[in-house]
Structure 1
Amino acid sequence: MSTTLKITYLPSAHRDRLLDLAENVRFPPAQRLFEEHTVADRFWILKTGAVTLDAELPHRRRAEIQTLGPGEPVGLSWLFPPYEWELGAETLSPVRAYELDAPRVRGLCRSDPEFGFAISQWVGMVLARRLHATRARLLDLYESAVRA
């Protein structure tokens, strides 16, 4: 599957190999992709559109944590046991994406250590950025709640 899509932090040879495993999918706006604490058996790389990551907060509505756009992976919990989503995700607009089967990608990571290392580094870098964004967003929400 040839593409000009740039997936940040993933070397092109490994990106192409990963995308060779992908299926093209589409989602309408307001489609829930996954809920917290459910099985993370797939993930997506956005081609077009936007997806919001959210967290359930006690006695409140879902809190939007971050909005993702083209080239970004949606769902990172598929790589680490217990393979359960830590956040929820919902489309904000029509989305076109590459969908990947998580067990299949994990199997390739195990059978090809160089590929597995590249995928782990990619996911780790994305996780670090998202952790920072999540922390900042939750501090904003806490500050707003304290002021109210």
Structure 2
Amino acid sequence: MLLAREVSFATDECIFDEGGKADRFWISYTGTVALDVHVPGCRAAVIETLDAGELLACSWLVPPHHWHSGGRASSLVGAYEFDATAVCELRWKDPELDHALLTYVAGAIAGRLRSARVRLLDLYAPHGAGEVP
């Protein structure tokens, strides 16, 4: 069963759109990807930039399987693209794989939440309010 294939994305190419069907995910090995969210009446706001070696998308794991943000290549990106359905089928058959994958994705989600918190504090909190003692 083929789980992943190598793909590349040109600078400024859309990798996935907020609200679209999340049926795959990527782990990059080169380049950077900007995660963005739709802002009515404005262009999409970048909420985080991911570097090589990072999981580009987490929405494939949790229903309703729609992207919670968009992803656009900030530079030439090389990545491994995984078929989410095939990976989930393997997870259900192998509890160790399931645990390892859930731990990995949970870590990525926790990192994204920390980044979002810092970004919100940078935008809206009084200067220094987000600093950790």
TM bin (shorter chain): 0.7 to 0.9
Aligned residue in 2 for 1:87: 69
Scaled by the length of structure 1, what TM-score is found?
A: 0.79
Higher helix share: 1
* Residue identity opposite 2:29 in structure 1: K
1:98 is aligned with what amino acid?
Y
TM-score, L = length of structure 2 = 0.87
Q: What is the aligned partner in structure 2 of residue 118 from structure 1?
A: 100
How many residues are aligned here? 124
Cα distance, 1:57 vs structure 2: 1.7
Matched, 1:31 2:20: no
Aligned to 1:43: 25
Q: Does 1:133 align with 2:120?
A: no
**Secondary structure of 1:134's partner?**
helix
Instruction: Find the aligned partners of 1:65 and 1:136 in 2 and give their Cα distance.
Output: 10
For structure 1, which runs of at least 5 residues remain unmatched after alignment?
Answer: 1-19, 144-148
Distance verdict in 2 for CA 1:58–1:138, change over 3 Å: farther
Distance 1:141 1:58, change over 3 A: farther
Residue 14 of structure 1 is matched in structure 2 by none
**Deviation of residue 21 (structure 1)?**
2.5
Cα separation, 2, equivalents of 1:142 and 1:58: 19
Q: Is the 8 A contact 1:65 1:138 kept in 2?
A: no
CA shift, 1:38, in A, is 1.1
Residue of structure 2 equivalent to 1:17:
none
1:104: which partner in 2? 86
Secondary structure (helix, strand or coil) at the match of 1:58 reads coil
Unaligned runs of 5+ in 2: 126-133
Matching residue of 1:75 = 57
For the aligned residue pairs, the C-alpha RMSD in angstroms reads 1.4
Identity %, equivalent residues: 45
Runs of 4+ in 1 over 4 A off after TM superposition: none
Question: Which amino acid is the alignment partner of residue 45 of structure 2?
Answer: A
Secondary structure of the residue aligned to 1:74 is coil
